[in-house]
């Protein structure tokens, strides 16, 4: 079970590849949104058409916080832009060479960069959301739930809507313990037995309050053996407990992979993007 779960969690988790030359397709590629030591952190920006200011979605790839590539999210980013909301896919630091909270720090830095440069990218800094799959869904949820911790004069990294695709929600429940035992030292820098407080603070569900809540759309498969579907249900109960908005779509037969060739998966993905478009478009 552990080997199978780890393989699924690391789907699309190959080492990040060197940056390729930017094709002339209107997409702004290889934007340096932040630096970490001597490393440039890159983003690709997918603009929605039209001169009016657009909402923006930060798209975050999965890979167990240890792998993956921002290009994994490019198909969703293009589809988001087609719906009238610009999107950006981001690179972030990965374990084991970087430890938590490097990953969420980088995601926050991306939000702040694009808010700071809203005019340059023709976006409305007040209409920013996040979407991600697996570990990326986890990071997207934290961008939504964590309170604003920006220093005075610094833009907030808190987003106003989230599309969560089978992201881990509560690492203290439901997971194969062997998987937790493997991830904790790699990502958190401690054995799981010594990281109980860190694991709680790593779990998005613990940030859900009436005051921090934002609208969330969750897509999960009922056959997910890596991030159990009960994670989505836990999130649903918690959000409804505090009076928040949560749409949960459980796809029958889907595991830890959103197969773009299956009609019910295609519809669920499209519904999640429509959810973001609804919340990130100008109020009529």
CB atoms within 10 A of CB 245: 14
Residues 45 and 265: their CA atoms lie apart, in Å, by 25
> What tokens were used for 94?
């990965």
At which residue do the structure tokens 């694009």 appear?
114
Query: Does the predicted model carry a pTM greater than 0.85?
Result: yes
Domains identified in the chain and CATH numbers: 2-15+24-280 (3.40.50.1820)
Q: Which helix (H) or strand (E) holds 90?
A: strand 86-90
Q: How far is CA 61 from CA 69, 142, 240, in A?
A: 6, 14, 27
Residues 239-267 have pLDDT tens digits of 999 999 999 999 999 999 999 899 999 99
Helix (H, G, I), strand (E, B) or coil at 125: strand
- Please report the DSSP string for 22-50 in residue order: PPSSS-EEEEEEEEETTEEEEEEEEPPSS
**Burial class of residue 205, CB neighbours in 10 A (0-12, 13-18, 19+):** buried
Cα 138 from chain centroid (whole Å): 6
Residues 49-97 have pLDDT tens digits of 999 999 999 999 999 999 999 999 999 999 999 999 999 999 999 999 9
């Amino acid at each position: 079970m552990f080997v199978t779960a780890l393989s699924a969690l690391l789907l699309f988790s190959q080492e990040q590849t060197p940056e390729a030359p930017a094709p002339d397709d209107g997409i702004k590629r290889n934007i340096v949104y932040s630096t970490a030591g001597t490393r440039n952190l890159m983003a690709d920006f997918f603009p929605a058409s039209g001169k009016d200011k657009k909402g923006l979605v930060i798209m975050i790839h999965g890979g167990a916080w240890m792998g993956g590539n921002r290009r994994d999210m490019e198909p969703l980013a293009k589809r988001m832009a087609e719906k009238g909301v610009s999107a950006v896919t981001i690179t972030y630091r990965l374990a084991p060479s970087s430890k938590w909270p490097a990953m969420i720090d980088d995601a926050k830095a991306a939000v702040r960069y694009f808010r700071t440069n809203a005019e340059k990218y023709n976006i409305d800094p007040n209409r920013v959301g996040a979407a991600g799959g697996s570990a990326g869904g986890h990071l997207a949820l934290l961008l939504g739930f964590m309170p604003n911790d920006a220093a005075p004069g610094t833009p907030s990294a808190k987003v106003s809507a989230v599309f969560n695709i089978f992201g881990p929600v509560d690492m203290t429940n439901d997971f194969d313990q062997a998987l937790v035992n493997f991830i904790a030292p790699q990502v958190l820098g401690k054995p799981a037995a010594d990281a109980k407080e860190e694991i709680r603070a790593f779990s998005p569900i613990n940030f859900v309050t009436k005051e921090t809540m934002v609208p969330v759309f969750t897509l999960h498969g009922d056959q997910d053996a890596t991030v159990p579907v009960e994670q989505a249900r836990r999130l649903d109960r918690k959000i409804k407990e505090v009076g928040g908005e949560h749409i949960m779509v459980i796809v029958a037969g889907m595991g830890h992979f959103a197969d773009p060739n299956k009609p019910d998966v295609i519809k669920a993905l499209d519904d999640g993007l429509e959810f973001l478009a609804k919340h990130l478009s100008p109020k009529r």
